[in-house]
Amino acid sequence: MKKIKITTRKKEILNRLCSEDDYITIGKIAEDIGVSSRTILRELEEIGELLNHHGLQLDTKTGVGIRLTSSLEEKERLLTIIEAEGAERVFTPSERHTIIAGELLQNNEPIKLYSLTRILKVSEGTISNDLDKLEEWLNAYNLNLVRKPGLGVYIEGREKHKRRAIVNLIYENVEEKQLLNLVQENITKSPETAGGIEIKTRNRLLNLIDKESIRRLEELIYKAEEEMGYKLADSAYVGLIVHLALAIKRIKNNEKIMIDQGFLKELKNSTEFEIAKALAQNISNHFNIEILEDEVGYITMHLMGSKNRGNIFQEEGKEVGNFELVKLVREIIKTAEAESGIFIGNNQRLFLGLMNHLEPAIKRLKLGMDIRNPLLEEIKLQYPQLLEVTTKSVKGLEAYLGLKLPESEIAYIAMHLGAVIEKKEILPQRRYRIAVACPSGIGTSRLLATRIEKEYDTLQIVDVISTIHVEESWLKQEGIDFIISTIPIQIGDIPVITVNPLLSKEDRERINKLLEELRFKTAGEPAVRKPQLSLKEKLLQMNSYSQGIIQVLDNFFLETVDAGSTEELIDQVCNRLLTDASLKQQLKADLLRREEKGGTYISGKEICLLHCRSSSIETLYFGALRPEAPIYHINNNGLKEEIKLAIIMLAPEESPQTHIEVISEVSKIIIERPDFLRMLMENMKEEAYIAISNHLNEFYKYKSDDRRDLHE
């Protein structure tokens, strides 16, 4: 057997396997040691050889995971052996390939082999072998590797092929969820954890795009989404940001992309072209660069090949979408049914899921755009039979398109079919009825509700409630399965999970654990169906919504204040809103009481949310205070964080439910609009007021739409 080097990463994987008696997924191992699933899969081949050499075996179970089929004594013996051998921290051939490709793709000038040997700490002979393999990879993108003795090595080819290679290089090595996190955090630096080599490789890759551009791009894309009337799916959103950040960097380096003019003429006929044109103009203004029409064409393709976050086809009981797409989806399901021997033809969830997936996927395939599936390797390893069934099921789609589907797309369709075939789920997935709570029923609870709606399709938020005013009889009447609260509460025998308003990873794990426990219990159902409102009741309700909206708009404020602590901020609020000393004292006491219960500092956002219901006020208030000097807060991890903004949300003690809904709705903007906090922090009062007005206008239109009741 060839000598296998025990690297730090192999050691970590083996340690994790030895610590687990049961099966563990590749994704879980990857998450635990801070690397990608693809990295784990790459390492497992040599780890398997190493285990066989020591008389041990790795057991793989489809759809479940992997485990060491060894006794405790054998595991301890293995750990002793790998500890004795030590561990090298080295780049794997795959990581060397990634780093070399990244260095060459971002440099116009030749790079000497000596420079690469210094970066990777290997010989010139090793680098030369790596370049041989890299040449094959580059050829797939119509790029040539040029090696000139004495001068160095460089890549030759068209700009569009270079960009495609760069983007695919990033996606091959940085998982989509990692990219999404990096985009959401504006590419903050990752800590040098146990997976340090992978992190260094990833950081080198991210140098290929303009990281500083991402925050501004988020705001500009948000405006483009408003123009389109729908939001991009996370994958399309990340893909567009990566494309644009890369384009900005390449344009600044005078690299221009070209597109077939006949194809560009076709793109100009689409509505997406006008949106792309406006987006390109905004980018030009923000970054002081010239964006040519060819570049606008590529942005148009991204928008046309995107998928919105909500369902496109969702009318139950009707054949929806264009006739051709319905026909293709039914053919896929029918063939999968015949191949698997499992009856799935009546599964409406599967039908709608495939309709929604294939509509943008077909556009991407027709436009010649790449389809990436971060779970491809794991699906190939764990679900080979399902992939075989799916490959046969898509023959009709391939004939319709006149091309062979890439493995990544077949794997996506397999994921839809697998949800039914593998688990034999003919019925729709169960949805749990929950209530979201905080002491006032406004502010942090609305932030939390927004996060839950984004994270979980299986949770139906029945209402956002106050922990003070909630009644157990109401919870039972509404069939509430459990409560998610920002502070600890005890309400009868209904389960309660206490979480951070921004829903941390630990919070999600607790929710998932409870969902697993509730899986076999009877679903909650409303005891009484809500009666439909009469015309008069509807008009009175809309009038109440109007009054609440007017109060918020009339009482909006944004000021810079001299305050050195949270209590001094509260004093500023009381002095600004009230003149009567006793009423000031009452409001301060109510705000401090809410503050004592926790959950008002929003970690990672540099804001605190001062909110409560109080008998001292008679109207709704929404505003923000900007402290002149730094105010610091100790977070749950014991670290000091600065408060740059205090958001104020207040409601009278006896506010009608419609007014509570209005003030809670305003807090959604904090999560949903990436530019709103910036407006407040930069004292852009007029722009912030317009943003609130527009948001509440949409809220009012939604509430006044009678058809809404049919879907609730």
Q: Are residues 74 and 112 in the same domain?
A: no
- The pLDDT score that the predictor gives to residue 425 is 41
First to last CA, the chain: 64
| Measured CA angle at 549 (ends 544, 554), to 5 deg | 125
Residues with Cβ within 8 Å of residue 529, at least 6 apart in sequence: none
Domain assignment present for residue 318? The answer is: no
Q: Are residues 230 and 186 in the same domain?
A: no
Q: Are residues 541 and 660 in the same domain?
A: yes
Domain assignment present for residue 348? The answer is: yes
Domain assignment present for residue 1? The answer is: no
CATH number at residue 196: 1.10.10
Q: Are strands 432-438 and 482-485 parallel, antiparallel or unpaired?
A: parallel
Asked which of 31-35, 284-288, 485-489, 646-650 is least confident by mean pLDDT, the reply is 31-35
- The pLDDT score that the predictor gives to residue 405 is 94
- The pLDDT score that the predictor gives to residue 619 is 95
- pLDDT of residue 463 exceeding 50: yes
Residue 651 phi, psi dihedral angles, 5° rounding: -140, 145
Tens of pLDDT along 243-274?
A: 888 888 888 888 888 888 888 888 888 888 99
Buried b (16+ CB within 10 A) or exposed e, 211-243: bebbebbbbbbbebbeeeeebbbbbbbbbbbbb
CATH number at residue 269: 1.10.1790.10
Q: Are residues 539 and 640 in the same domain?
A: yes
* Confidence bin at 428 (pLDDT 50/70/90): very low
- The pLDDT score that the predictor gives to residue 468 is 61
Q: Are residues 200 and 216 in the same domain?
A: no
Q: Are residues 133 and 268 in the same domain?
A: no
Last residue of a domain, one of 172, 190, 206: 206
Structure pTM? 0.47
Q: Are residues 508 and 629 in the same domain?
A: no
Tens of pLDDT along 209-247?
A: 766 777 778 778 888 877 777 677 667 777 888 888 888
Q: Are residues 578 and 674 in the same domain?
A: yes
Q: Are residues 73 and 97 in the same domain?
A: no
Domain assignment present for residue 310? The answer is: no
- The pLDDT score that the predictor gives to residue 312 is 46
Structural domain total, the chain: 6
Asked which of 186-200, 262-276, 315-329, 462-476 is least confident by mean pLDDT, the reply is 186-200
Last residue of a domain, one of 56, 85, 114: 85
The label of the residue with tokens 């921290």 reads 89
Domain assignment present for residue 674? The answer is: yes
Last residue of a domain, one of 179, 206, 233: 206
* Confidence bin at 1 (pLDDT 50/70/90): very low
Question: Which has the closest alpha carbon to 291: 278, 308, 305, 275?
Answer: 278
Domain assignment present for residue 579? The answer is: yes
Residue with the larger pLDDT of the pair 688 and 107: 688
Q: Are residues 556 and 701 in the same domain?
A: yes
- Per the structure, the complete domain to which residue 272 belongs is given by 211-304
CATH number at residue 511: 3.40.50.2300
The predicted model gives 62-75 an average pLDDT of 79
Domain assignment present for residue 628? The answer is: yes
CATH number at residue 681: 3.40.930.10
Domain assignment present for residue 312? The answer is: no
* Confidence bin at 500 (pLDDT 50/70/90): confident
Decide if 167 contacts 243 (C-beta within 8 A).
Answer: yes
Q: Are residues 417 and 480 in the same domain?
A: no
- pLDDT of residue 443 exceeding 70: no
Tens of pLDDT along 601-617?
A: 776 678 888 888 899 99
Rounded distance between C-alpha atoms, residue 213 and residue 235, angstroms:
19
Q: What percent of the chain has pLDDT over 90?
A: 17
Tens of pLDDT along 385-411?
A: 889 999 999 999 999 999 999 998 999
Q: Are residues 354 and 473 in the same domain?
A: no
Tens of pLDDT along 351-395?
A: 888 888 888 888 888 888 888 777 787 788 778 888 999 999 999
